[in-house]
Structure 1
Amino acid sequence: MNYRAVETTREYVARLETGADWRAEIESLADEVEADAAWFTALGAVQDAELWFYDQDDLEYRPIEFDEPLEVASCVGNVSLLDGERFAHTHVVLSGPDGGAVAGHLNEATVFAGEVHMRVFEEPLERAHDETTDLDLWL
């Protein structure tokens, strides 16, 4: 296990812009406040979404697309540096009108309404390629 203590320096709340991309909005917030490492939670609604499921046997993401309004029942993730850019690793639970839920890694979604809370860490976190999982993981 790779771990370290983190110190938080700042916290922000933000409203995501209707019509924008959900994950890109979180990355824009991180850029705006110069957060090279952060933890965030969010909620709201999206107009469509593309989730990714990671196939652990084939070591690749498989897209799952939704072209319908969905509630963001839960959204959690972190911000770290990937190839020198701020990257929002984002997971969501989405629900439809019947209350059924889907979940996964959020690649993209169009914001209908969204609110985010971001807690920024003092020291940056960086991602690098991990040979075993074929994923970009924290160093």
Structure 2
Amino acid sequence: MNYRAVETESEYIARLETGADWRAEIESLADEVEADAAWFSALGAVQDAELWFYDQNECEYYPIEFDEPLEVASCVGNVSWLDGARFAHTHAVLSDPDGDAVAGHLNEATVWAGEVHMRVFEEGLEREYDDTTELDLWL
């Protein structure tokens, strides 16, 4: 297990822009406040979405696309450095008009309305390729 104590440097709340990409908006906030490591939660609604499911046997992501309005019932994730840029590792639970839910790694989605809370940590985090999982994980 890789763990460390973290100290909070600052906290922010933000409203995501309608029509923007959900994850890109979170990364933009991280850039704006110079967050080298953060934890965030968010909620709202999207006009479409692409979730990814990671197949552990094949070590590959598979997209699941939705071209319809969905509620963002829950969205959580973290910010760290990946390949020289701030990366928002984002997971979401989305629901349709019937209340049926889907969940996974949120690759992209068009914001209808969104609100995010970001807690920035004093020390940065960096991701590096992990041979076992074939994922980019914290050092």
The TM-score by the shorter chain falls in which range?
A: over 0.9
| Number of aligned residues | 139
With normalisation by structure 1, the TM-score equals 1.00
Letter of the 1:132 partner, please give it. Answer: T
Deviation of the 1:49 alpha carbon: 0.1
The equivalent residue for 1:38 is: 38
Deviation of the 1:24 alpha carbon: 0.1
Return the alpha-carbon distance in structure 1 between the equivalents of residues 84 and 49 of structure 2.
Answer: 26
Return the alpha-carbon distance in structure 1 between the equivalents of residues 45 and 83 of structure 2.
Answer: 30
Return the alpha-carbon distance in structure 2 between the equivalents of residues 129 and 9 of structure 1.
Answer: 27
The equivalent residue for 2:12 is: 12
Q: Within 5 Å, which residues of 2 pair with 1:36-115?
A: 36-115=36-115
The equivalent residue for 1:130 is: 130
Return the alpha-carbon distance in structure 2 between the equivalents of residues 87 and 31 of structure 1.
Answer: 10
RMSD of equivalent CA atoms = 0.3
Q: Deviations over 1:28-48 (max 9, x none)?
A: 000000000000000000000
Return the alpha-carbon distance in structure 2 between the equivalents of residues 6 and 84 of structure 1.
Answer: 22
Return the alpha-carbon distance in structure 1 between the equivalents of residues 3 and 69 of structure 2.
Answer: 38
With normalisation by structure 2, the TM-score equals 1.00
Letter of the 1:58 partner, please give it. Answer: E
Q: Deviations over 1:80-126 (max 9, x none)?
A: 00011000000000000000000000000000000000000000000
Return the alpha-carbon distance in structure 2 between the equivalents of residues 39 and 49 of structure 1.
Answer: 21
Return the alpha-carbon distance in structure 2 between the equivalents of residues 4 and 33 of structure 1.
Answer: 23
Letter of the 1:19 partner, please give it. Answer: G
Letter of the 2:104 partner, please give it. Answer: G
SS in 1 for 2:87: strand
Deviation of the 1:11 alpha carbon: 0.2
Give unpaired runs (5+ residues) of structure 1: none
The equivalent residue for 1:21 is: 21
Return the alpha-carbon distance in structure 1 between the equivalents of residues 70 and 88 of structure 2.
Answer: 20
Over the matched positions of the two proteins, sequence identity in percent amounts to 86
Q: Which runs of 4+ in 1 moved over 6 A?
A: none
